[in-house]
Amino acid sequence: MTMNILEGATANMNDNDAEPAPGTPATRQCESEGGSLSSREGSLPEGILAVSVTHYRVGKYSYTNLDDAMAEHRRQSGADSAT
């Protein structure tokens, strides 16, 4: 069912939607749709570095370490109770 919706939406796209506006780089077209994040790295003072961090959410808990998240998932699913 989802595939039919996507196929219908794709079939109804205007051919001009796939082309960037004249004189506009292709990436600018997606940026106006919220597809990219603004970069602050150029405006940061020397010595400050922006770092992205992945958070794993397991129930009400949040982890930055995948092994910890997997262990919590096993605890919540009862996999550890068998041992």
Whole-number pLDDT of residue 16:
46
Q: Is the pLDDT of residue 6 over 90?
A: no
Q: Cα angle vertex 70, ends 67, 74, to 5°?
A: 140
User: 41-71: per-residue pLDDT in tens?
Assistant: 568 899 999 999 999 999 999 999 999 999 9
pTM of the model: 0.43
The first and second tokens of residue 78, run together, are 């009862």
The first and second tokens of residue 24, run together, are 């506009």
